[in-house]
A and B are shown apart, each in its own frame.
Chain A
Amino acid sequence: DGGITQSPKYLFRKEGQNVTLSCEQNLNHDAMYWYRQDPGQGLRLIYYSQIVNDFQKGDIAEGYSVSREKKESFPLTVTSAQKNPTAFYLCASRQGPESGNTIYFGEGSWLTVV
């Protein structure tokens, strides 16, 4: 099936640890995104990548890092510098402009600091 796969679905992090959330897509989309969602809130952009080996900071990039070594993969690392990482993380990828730039989302990953 075509789509976006995020893993793990649930992740617990101890204070001071870095954790990495995986995002893989087989839609052949160039652009990929990471959003953070806090309970009852909208989405805030963390990082985005328009092409392999290139990525840009979003609105709340501090404490996060990404890489884009392959078109299909856009992992997000939540570092110990992120002081309040407990949230729901959503990865997305985008069709090209000929399709209106519709974004497709994964099922999300819940991160909890313990």
Chain B
Amino acid sequence: SQQGEEDPQALSIQEGENATMNCSYKTSINNLQWYRQNSGRGLVHLILIRSNEREKHSGRLRVTLDTSKKSSSLLITASRAADTASYFCATAGGGAGNMLTFGGGTRLMVKP
């Protein structure tokens, strides 16, 4: 069963604009991670935010986490055509195997 649900499912923006993707989850977590997937490729880890953190930055990426609302957002600033990909949030609950549970993803298209 999916723990995280991304919103929107698809997003189309112009180059230079900011892109915001949201993730909601259901149970308590140890950390939340964002991954990127180019079409037909494996997933690449972008950023991890721990449950005791509220905001984290990495280059043009900004991730927030609100554990009271069980939600996270990924902001990509000054988007580029090369940012076109699917973005997934994944939650780690610390249970058996410390498995990550992935959401359905947001498909981002950045038009040049």
Contacts and interface: CB of A to CB of B under 8 A. Distances in A.
Interface of A: 4, 6, 31, 33, 35, 40-43, 45, 48, 50, 56, 58-59, 88, 90, 92, 94, 97, 100-108, 110
B97 A102 contact: no
B48 A97 contact: no
* A contact patch SS: strand
Interface of B: 1-2, 30-31, 33, 35, 40-45, 48, 50, 88, 90, 92, 96-105, 107
A50 B100 CA distance: 13
A36 B103 CA distance: 13
28 contacts: A4-B42, A6-B42, A41-B104, A41-B105, A42-B102, A42-B105, A43-B43, A43-B88, A45-B99, A45-B101, A50-B97, A56-B96, A58-B99, A88-B40, A100-B31, A100-B48, A100-B50, A100-B92, A101-B30, A101-B31, A101-B92, A101-B98, A102-B33, A103-B90, A105-B42, A105-B43, A107-B42, A108-B41
